[in-house]
Amino acid sequence: MVHTRKSDTKQRPGFPARLDIAKPTMSSGRSGVAGGVIPVRLTQGVGMDSMAVRQGMVSNLAKQGISDQWVLQAMGTIERHRFVDTALANQAYEDTSLPIGLGQTISKPSVVSHMLELLRQGSNDRLGRVLEIGTGCGYQSALLSLLATEVYTIERLRGLHDKARANLRNLRLLHVHLLFGDGIEGYAKGAPYSGIIAAAGAESIPKAWIDQLAVGARLVAPVTVGATCPARQALVVIDKTPQGLHQTVLDVVHFVPLKSGVA
């Protein structure tokens, strides 16, 4: 059962997750991945449920430069086809974004894995408490459940919040807390966070996110950069250090815009 929390609830439930995943053997570069295949403890299955299908995606991600063993193993563990409509399941392991309803999309595996790798910033263990802005269908939330000890994820669209809850229910992730609310405000009651990741493009990084980020932690989000028309987005990494904020602008990306309020 996925634990759903309202913003006025004070006590946080316990964890860990019930999803079974082996701790990766950490190594530098890609040498620890034999042919890009990450060992996971799941049933073999057939068709879209086949481990080989997911491992094929993982192999392609490794070839594209994803080297974080925790991220690669999470990508090989979580079944992406269970988070998209049945009619699109045969495209689930292609490197493409797919519609999830209400004008929103599930991002490409290469983009998701790249952002998660950036968020982890080379850590050799799980992150602590993480905030996700934009739950969507719950796919990235499930991935984060394998990369962090506790996950707060907030969605402003009620239809997607409910869809994510349904998608995640069978995984029994007791340390993933689904919130319905305005992501621009973050979630102060769960702060400080060891990482914040956003799945929608902001005009600028909301002050609330910076305030809720722990010192020594990292934020990864798509942000509008420059004054081009149409507006151009890029991935931005912000490190909160004792000396202040350090911002790095990276790849050009295209995400749905970050909006305020709930619907």
The answer to whether the Cα torsion of 44, 48, 51, 53 is positive or negative is positive
- Answer positive or negative: Cα dihedral of 65, 71, 72, 75: negative
* CATH number for position 80: 3.40.50.150
Q: Is residue 187 part of a domain?
A: yes
Q: What is the pLDDT of residues 58-97, one digit of tens each?
A: 999 999 999 999 999 999 999 999 999 999 999 999 999 9
Residue 260 resides in a domain: no
Residue 12 domain flag: no
Q: Which of 50, 59, 97, 107 is catalytic?
A: 107
Report yes or no on 99 lying in a domain. Answer: yes
Domain count, the chain: 1
- Does a structural domain hold residue 263? no
Secondary structure of the chain in the HEC alphabet? CCEECCCCCCCCCCCCCCCCCCCCCCCCCCCCCECCECCCCCCCCCHHHCHHHHHHHHHHHHHCCCCCHHHHHHHHHCCHHHHCCHHHHHHCCCCCCEEEECCEEECCHHHHHHHHHHHHCCCCCCEEEEEEECCCCCHHHHHHHCCEEEEEEEECCHHHHHHHHHHHHCCCCCCEEEEECCHHHCCHHHCCEEEEEECCEECCCCHHHHHHEEEEEEEEEEEEECCCCCCEEEEEEEEEECCEEEEEEEEEECCCECCCCCC
**Is position 259 within any domain?**
no
Active site residue 107: yes
For the stretch 130-167, pLDDT in tens is 999 999 999 999 999 999 999 999 999 999 999 999 99
Rounded to the nearest integer, the mean pLDDT of the chain is 86
pLDDT at 51: 86
**In DSSP terms, which residues pair with 150 in a beta bridge?**
129
Cβ(252)–Cβ(230) below 8 Å? no
Q: Kindly report whether the global pTM for this prediction surpasses the value 0.85.
A: no
Q: What is the token pair recorded at 190?
A: 């769960």
Q: What is the pLDDT of residues 155-198, one digit of tens each?
A: 999 999 999 999 999 999 999 999 999 999 999 999 999 999 99
For residue 250, which of 134, 127, 118, 69 has the smallest C-alpha distance? 118
Structural domain containing residue 146: 3-7+19-253
Task: Check whether 35 has a pLDDT greater than 90.
Answer: no
